């Protein structure tokens, strides 16, 4: 029996232009500060590899695609569970010249989905989705408990 990959999508609207949103994704130490506690990814270009520390978890990541100003795609996994790989795409769309939307989609495959058993995608959204809500709020410097999803 083949199990299809599950996915979680979250979006947040920012009161900045798409160019400013792109800069905030790449600001400072690359993706650090909003994607994880410490990010070591010297180059954000296809084929680049790096690590991300979030709490006590160490993730490895490989950049799969970059469309400057518009999107970043990568594959990542927890070093403690290398068979639980997921792909992430982060896309920026311009709502108008002063507003943009960042949309993150994470597709989970392999061990994660296989281990879900009778769990549903809504169960997955409550866990993985919560992490993306927190990351997107951190991107805009918010600490509000409200969901970032739209």
Q: Which string of DSSP letters, residue by residue, matches 50-91?
A: EEEEETTEEEEEEEEEEETTTEEEEEEEETT-TT--EEEEEE
Does 60 fall in a domain? yes
In a domain, 144, yes or no: no
Evaluate whether residue 82 is within a structural domain: yes
Q: What percent of the chain has pLDDT over 90?
A: 30
Judge whether 21 and 96 are in contact, CB under 8 Å. Answer: no
131 is a domain residue: yes
- pTM summary value: 0.71
Query: Which range has the top average pLDDT, 8-22, 28-42, 114-128?
Result: 8-22
SS3 103: strand
Place 124 in a pLDDT band, splitting at 50, 70 and 90: very low
Q: Is the pLDDT of residue 125 over 80?
A: no
Please check the confidence at residue 84 and state whether its pLDDT lies above 70.
Answer: yes
**Which residues are within 8 A (CB) of 88 and not within 5 positions of it... i.e. 6 or more apart?**
73, 74, 75, 76, 104, 105, 106, 107
Q: Residue 1 falls within a domain, yes or no?
A: no
Assess if residue 98 is contained within a domain.
Answer: yes
Whole-angstrom distance, CA of residue 106 vs CA of residue 13? 18
The total number of structural domains in the chain stands at: 1
Whether 101 shows a pLDDT value over 90: the answer reads yes
pLDDT(55) > 60? yes
CATH number for the domain harbouring residue 45: 3.30.530.20
Is 147 inside any structural domain?
no
User: What is the Cα–Cα distance from 89 to 92, expressed in whole angstroms?
Assistant: 10
Q: Return the closest-CA partner of residue 46 out of 60, 28, 67.
A: 67
- Domain containing 46: what range? 6-139
The 10 Å CB-count burial string (b at 16+, else e) for 92-105 is: beeeeeeebbbbbb
């Amino acid at each position: 029996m083949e199990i299809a990959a599950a996915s979680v999508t979250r979006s947040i609207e920012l009161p900045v232009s798409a160019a400013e949103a792109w800069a905030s994704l790449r600001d400072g130490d690359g993706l650090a500060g909003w994607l994880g506690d410490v990010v070591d990814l010297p180059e954000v270009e296809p084929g680049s590899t790096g690590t991300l520390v979030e709490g006590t978890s160490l993730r490895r990541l490989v950049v799969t695609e970059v469309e400057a100003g518009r999107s970043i795609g990568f594959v990542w996994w927890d070093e403690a569970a290398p068979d639980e790989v997921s792909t992430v795409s982060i896309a920026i769309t311009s709502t108008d010249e002063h507003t943009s939307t960042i949309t993150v989609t994470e597709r989970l495959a392999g061990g994660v989905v296989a281990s879900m058993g009778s769990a549903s995608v809504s169960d997955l959204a409550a866990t993985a989705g919560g992490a993306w809500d927190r990351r997107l709020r951190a991107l805009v410097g918010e600490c509000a408990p409200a969901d970032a999803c739209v």
